[in-house]
Structure 1
Amino acid sequence: MYSIYYIGAQNSERIDFCQWPYMVTGGDLFDGEFDAIEDDDRIQGWERKITSKKLNIEIHAVGVSLEQAIDQLENVAEKDVLNTTPGRLYVGSSYMKGWLVGTTKDRWLQDLDSISNELIFKSDYPYWITEEEFHFYKRGSGNAEKMEWLEFPYNFPYEFSKVRNLQYINNSNYTASGFKMIIYGPCINPLIRIAGHIYELRTTLYEGEYAVIDSSTRYAKDRKIVKVRNDGTEENLFNSKNNASSIWEKIPAGLSIVSWNGAFGFDIILFNERGTPRWTSR
């Protein structure tokens, strides 16, 4: 049985659809279809437009009253709708961003302690995302020393694993992935090469500060680069990126060499996208 649940965007409230008072009974979460991009009566490519998914559940008075269970579900859903901030619908390790926008109830006229409920989940970014995390440490830290002699899973022309500040990232997806990169200060003009491509910010990060490069959206206008200061305030660093080398370049599938000067640490979170949820945990 897959774990299926919704995480609200406002307060990270969780609605678990595989544990009473809610229990999934069906739906079309594992179905999917791409939309054709047509020109002159020929298919030029494929995309996914705004998509609705159905989730059928039973709501049963277990632990709380039926009325409380219904209100809790709809309170979490409507907060995200009214704030136009997408929550996340999870199926196993995959999630889709969107909103619970529709509800159809059955048997509500009867004096029962349970009802059937069909929920409609709508997304303008209808891809199921599985995250992969990678951590790269500052030279001289205890974690960096442990990583220094890392053995690579494949044979390379020479022993990359014994070269300082040279690591790898193994993207398990079948295609290139968007990412979030978190760079930790102190450092000046941090530059990272992945598969030969340069990701660079021309800025200074002081002790305790960090920069976030976030390409986790399909729309370029919504992508962001920010510095987070010690007091939690943010500074827009969008104009600090190296425009000679696209900072939004997706990270290739498979094994890629990662290199930097070792003067700072950073994390990379890959967003591996699929048209349907993964059937395996990884």
Structure 2
Amino acid sequence: MNHDRTSASPDPDVVSTHSVCGAPCWVSLTSRDVKATEDFYQAVLGWEWRAAKLGDHFRIALADGAPVAGIGAVAAMWQMAVAWTPYFAVPSADEAVSRAYERGGTAAVGPISFPPGRAALLADRDGATFGIWEGDLLTDWETWRKAAPAFIRLHTRDAFDAAIFYGEVLDWASERPGCCEVRYEGDEVVLRSHGEVVARIESGALETAPDPTIRPHWQIHFRVADVSACARAAEVHGGSVLREGPGEAVLRDPDGAQFTVTSRREA
């Protein structure tokens, strides 16, 4: 098991302890060029930046002064794919990793210690990458949720099968205090924490698809005031627009990482 540090884990410069179980609690991006990545997301999402205590290769994104995401220049260093990754809060990283292994998942990095917590980077049995975090957060969960991410969506082969995997690994719909509620609504699985929709799982992605946009993956949706303005800014600053519709656009940054901007009204 690899015990090197992972860019995706929350920075140890924390202010409060999370009180959620199994819910998304952080998002991160691997990058080949941190400065170029900073410039792109500042232009598209209006983020500001500060240093992280993990070293010069890591940065923290701020929206209205609140930490919302992490970036690490480790894609080339560790031969990792450039991608956005969600992290889920767990009471025990070691236990969650063991559960993932038992259910056909894999661990790329960790569990490793980032005082005051532990992190791991995993893949589910269809290959979608996600992280887990045990410990404190950079800011309280409600503040983080309101600052930028609207929700995350898993595009996968079988939504019901994926929900079983994640539910068993992350203690969804359990009796654990603060655990998430899971419901099958229409043609997708919906995850709620404290009454809020925090994740959706939908079927349709292909395990062996050559196009990474249709392989199983977690898609991060960021809440923005003007979707069209974000899409135009992405094009101007070296990114691209993969799909644009009413209230939402799927974008790709210059490094190739894909993400979605969602209208605050729609979110």
Of structures 1 and 2, the larger Rg is shown by: 1
TM-score by length of 2: 0.25
TM-score by length of 1: 0.24
| Structure with the bigger percentage of helix | 2
